Homo-oligomer: A and B are copies of this chain.
């Protein structure tokens, strides 16, 4: 059960969550660790395609993802979850479902201006044009974590650097646990 860990990436659209999740998965694989990436876009195209972006549906989106992460962690699979997850209460619920000792909250802290300038999917442009309602950072709130496990400054640091920081934290958690399990 040494891989029963969920790394939860939270931050604005365009902060680099999916990119960082893919890079972390790649590095974990290189280190011989298998993981599953749960990504907002993929999950919303699959299991959660019945859900929208209002607060209630965002809550249900996060609840289901947390339950899936818990099942995967129970099966010994490391999970990297990449979700805007803008509400503190929803992230707290996710930590409770998954279990606090298995949960690392990683806050991708990038200024809205930077994310909006990147606008990798053209969503900010559409949100400003009123074509997307309840868009986080524009017409819906983002509640930054108050005490995240790690803060990654994805605007000033490169993805490679952020992935290194995150990998070190994950490996320290996995090592720390196996050390405490062997005592």
A positions within 8 Å CB-CB of B: 34-36, 38, 46-47, 50, 60, 63-64, 67-68, 70-72, 74-77, 97
In Å, the complex CA distance between A38 and B70 comes to 12
Out of B50, B60, B71, B97, which one reaches A68, CB within 8 Å?
A: B71
> Min CB distance, A79 to chain B, in Å?
9
Q: Which residue of B lies closest to A75 (CB)?
A: B36
Other than the given A47-B68, A71-B72, 19 more pairs (CB < 8 A) read A34-B75, A34-B76, A35-B75, A36-B71, A36-B72, A36-B77, A46-B71, A46-B97, A47-B63, A47-B64, A47-B67, A50-B60, A68-B68, A68-B71, A72-B72, A72-B75, A72-B77, A75-B77, A77-B77
A51 → chain B, closest Cβ, in Å? 11
